[in-house]
Chains A and B, each alone.
Chain A
Amino acid sequence: MNKLIKIGLPSKGRLKDESLKIFKKNNLSIKDSKRNYLSEIKNFSLNEVIFSHAREIVDRLADNSLDIGISGYDLLKESLPGIQKNIQVFSRLNFGFANLIVAVPDAWIDVQTIADLEEISFELKDKNISKLRVATKYPNLTNDFLLSKGLTQYKIINSLGSTEIYPFTGQSEIITDISSSGATLKANKLRILKDGDILKSSACILVSKKSLRDKLKNKIVKNLLKKIS
């Protein structure tokens, strides 16, 4: 049966737990069977709740397979401009706080700013060693940030996890990564640059712009947003 509106929620971790709390707090009951990735809000108009990877929620809102979703602001901003233009940020939420930052090995005591990194990148280039390698799960945001700060002589190394160890295993020289308390960075002997804040992120409620243009869906989506905001 084709449910009228589709809601995407993160499928695991704190993002999932905190998202469910928002609905519960507003007397909207979602059955969470832990293993089933499909559910619904019982006491609301015809709907379907789909538990997905937070990154996928952004893509599905853009192609309008979802109407509303909760995901990370960082993941939205990392997506391509063509995706972002189809999504409206309805509100930033009070959880999932994390910063995307540039970090260098603690022992690089001569490096405090991106401008220092630029000099290092030229040193590496002049010695014909290689380009300064930047490991990250966020290549688009990293590129935009580094290029805006004047760093051009570097190479992005795409990482899917454990990015913090890349500089110490010969896979990159520096990293950009999400950090909430800085504890993981510290434990891995990394430190954030003085001007190395790329993005302040939190969870947010996102809406597909196409759904807002659909008269019938618009009414239901706005009704749901009113209830959970």
Chain B
Amino acid sequence: MKSKKYSEALLNLFKKKGFKVKEFENIIESRIIIERSGEIFKKSLLSFEDDNGRNFSLRPDLTISACLDYIKNVKEGTYKYAYFDQAYRRTFGKESLVRNQLGCEIIGSSNFKSNAEIVNLIDQSLKKVIKDKTTIKINDINIFYSLVDSLKLPSRWRFRLKRHFWRHDYFDELITRLESNSDLQKNVFELDKKSYFKMKESKQNEKIAGRKINEILDRFEKKIKEPRSNINGTRVARIIRNFLKINCPFKNAKNELKKFEIKNKIDLKLNQFDVFDLNLKNKDALFSSNIGRSVEYYTGIVFEIYKKSKNLNLASGGRYDNLMQILGAKNKVAAIGGAINYDNILKL
């Protein structure tokens, strides 16, 4: 009963704010997700095949369902989704296969105001169901990307650090590797140099396991020209680790980051970020450079909302401007959304 009361109260509020409450299809064709995202989603899909060998899955996530609904039915313009329903994922521990998801999305809007609209709405909606004060943590993933671009690193290392920012354990492994001397195996490299000269004499358009010889040689040359031994890995690793410790009142964020720039002699190009101008109604807000690292598809502002007294996560969300294209939209469609941590709300 508590669950129904809460969900109705929240959905009513979303409706009042112009969001349309939608129900999504339970079953989606797995190809739509797997072909574009690779094996990472496949592992969590609950899938089955029909007699023709077509593979289908139960919907794994309602943000993805909202995106697919937009691509199929809305196609253009701004659409505001709200939903409360179940998503289904394979689990490997004691977690339930079925999870309740309550959230809202603004798809088709890159407008800066949408960011504040979502964060304020989710925070405001929490006040409908809980009495406790909340704290909002804010970050923009692009500031980390800007940090990586400002550091003296080979391009392949920039790519890696950005790509794996959200994958905590592997990211830490990468930073540790950065501190070590080399990512080129010297003995193999010498052997490969012999092959390199031999391959130079071969037909350059010939393919070996799907790759042209000239592509292989180009990349090999690039690696030689950009050896990591030329950079100070220890310094770079220290700067990244210190950056990820920045946690300050949101109103001081820009100043704190400027101090960080001066101390480390780097340029984060802070003027290009509008996150600092976010108009938050809840003034109990922090800037935290280490949040928003749980979901791969976030591309900009990210937020997490906590119950202040217990530091219990109540909601989270962020901007995902590339997901629509990953899922099949022909053009880039900007979007932002957030979800309430419903299970934690029910615990209160």
Binding site for B on A (CB under 8 A): 81, 104-110, 112-113, 115-116, 118-124, 129, 131, 143, 146-150, 152-156, 167-168, 170, 172-174, 194
Cβ A153 vs Cβ B38 within 8 A: yes
Cβ B184 vs Cβ A112 within 8 A: yes
Residues from chain A with a CB closer than 8 A to the CB of B211 are 108, 120, 173
Cβ B185 vs Cβ A109 within 8 A: no
Known contacts A124-B210, A147-B39; A109/B183 CB under 8 A: no
Cβ B160 vs Cβ A131 within 8 A: no
In the complex, what's the smallest C-beta–C-beta distance from B228 to chain A, in angstroms?
11
Cβ A115 vs Cβ B199 within 8 A: no
Residues from chain A with a CB closer than 8 A to the CB of B217 are 109-110
Cβ A107 vs Cβ B195 within 8 A: yes
The 5 closest A-B pairs by CB, nearest first: A167-B209, A109-B192, A110-B219, A110-B220, A152-B40
B126-183 interface with A by 8 A CB criterion: 156, 159-160, 163-164, 167, 169-170, 183
Residues from chain B with a CB closer than 8 A to the CB of A146 are 39
Cβ B209 vs Cβ A110 within 8 A: no
- Partner of A154 from the list B39, B170, B183, B213 (CB cut-off 8 Å) is B39
Is B1 positioned at the interface, with any CB of A under 8 Å from its CB? no
Q: Which residue of A lies closest to B216 (CB)?
A: A110
- Partner of B163 from the list A116, A118, A148 (CB cut-off 8 Å) is A118
Q: Which residue of B lies closest to A189 (CB)?
A: B208
Residues from chain A with a CB closer than 8 A to the CB of B163 are 118, 150
Cβ B216 vs Cβ A108 within 8 A: yes
Cβ A109 vs Cβ B216 within 8 A: yes
In the complex, what's the smallest C-beta–C-beta distance from B46 to chain A, in angstroms?
14
- Of the candidates B196, B219, B222, the one having the most CB atoms from chain A within 10 angstroms of its own CB is B219
Report the count of interface residues on B (CB-CB < 8 A): 35
Residues from chain B with a CB closer than 8 A to the CB of A106 are 195
- Partner of B199 from the list A107, A121, A156, A170 (CB cut-off 8 Å) is A107
A147 to B163, CA, bound (A): 13
Interface pairs (8), CB distance under 8 Å: A81-B92, A104-B209, A107-B195, A108-B216, A146-B39, A152-B40, A154-B39, A173-B209
- Partner of A113 from the list B38, B43, B183, B208 (CB cut-off 8 Å) is B183
Contact with A along B26-60 (1 / 0, CB 8 A): 00000000000111100100000000000000000
Cβ B39 vs Cβ A109 within 8 A: no
In the complex, what's the smallest C-beta–C-beta distance from A83 to chain B, in angstroms?
13
- Partner of B156 from the list A107, A119, A131 (CB cut-off 8 Å) is A119
Q: Which residue of A lies closest to B209 (CB)?
A: A167
Binding site for A on B (CB under 8 A): 37-40, 43, 92, 156, 159-160, 163-164, 167, 169-170, 183-185, 188-189, 192, 195-196, 199, 208-211, 213, 215-217, 219-220, 222-223
A113 to B217, CA, bound (A): 16
A40 to B68, CA, bound (A): 59
Cβ A194 vs Cβ B188 within 8 A: yes
Cβ A150 vs Cβ B164 within 8 A: yes
Q: Which residue of A lies closest to B43 (CB)?
A: A143
Known: A107-B213, A109-B196, A155-B39. 9 other contacts (CB 8 A): A105-B208, A105-B209, A107-B216, A112-B184, A150-B160, A150-B170, A152-B38, A167-B210, A194-B185
Known contacts A108-B209, A113-B183; A118/B160 CB under 8 A: yes
In the complex, what's the smallest C-beta–C-beta distance from A101 to chain B, in angstroms?
15
Known contacts A143-B43, A154-B38, A154-B39; A115/B183 CB under 8 A: yes
Q: Which residue of A lies closest to B93 (CB)?
A: A81
A81 to B94, CA, bound (A): 12
Residues from chain A with a CB closer than 8 A to the CB of B219 are 110, 119
A115 to B171, CA, bound (A): 12
Residues from chain A with a CB closer than 8 A to the CB of B156 are 115-116, 119
- Partner of A148 from the list B160, B170, B216 (CB cut-off 8 Å) is B170
Known contacts A110-B216, A148-B170, A150-B163; A156/B39 CB under 8 A: yes
Cβ B39 vs Cβ A168 within 8 A: no
Residues from chain A with a CB closer than 8 A to the CB of B159 are 119, 122
Cβ B39 vs Cβ A112 within 8 A: no
Residues from chain B with a CB closer than 8 A to the CB of A149 are 170
In the complex, what's the smallest C-beta–C-beta distance from B97 to chain A, in angstroms?
13
In the complex, what's the smallest C-beta–C-beta distance from B213 to chain A, in angstroms?
8
Cβ B184 vs Cβ A152 within 8 A: no
Q: Which residue of A lies closest to B222 (CB)?
A: A110
Residues from chain A with a CB closer than 8 A to the CB of B43 are 143, 147
Cβ A129 vs Cβ B210 within 8 A: yes
Known contacts A131-B38, A152-B38, A155-B38; A108/B208 CB under 8 A: yes
A129 to B210, CA, bound (A): 9
In the complex, what's the smallest C-beta–C-beta distance from B206 to chain A, in angstroms?
10
Q: Which residue of A lies closest to B215 (CB)?
A: A123
Residues from chain B with a CB closer than 8 A to the CB of A155 are 38-39
Cβ A152 vs Cβ B209 within 8 A: no
In the complex, what's the smallest C-beta–C-beta distance from A207 to chain B, in angstroms?
23
Q: Which residue of B lies closest to A142 (CB)?
A: B39
Cβ A152 vs Cβ B39 within 8 A: yes
A124 to B217, CA, bound (A): 16
Cβ B209 vs Cβ A174 within 8 A: yes
A170 to B167, CA, bound (A): 32
A109 to B202, CA, bound (A): 14
Q: Which residue of B lies closest to A170 (CB)?
A: B210
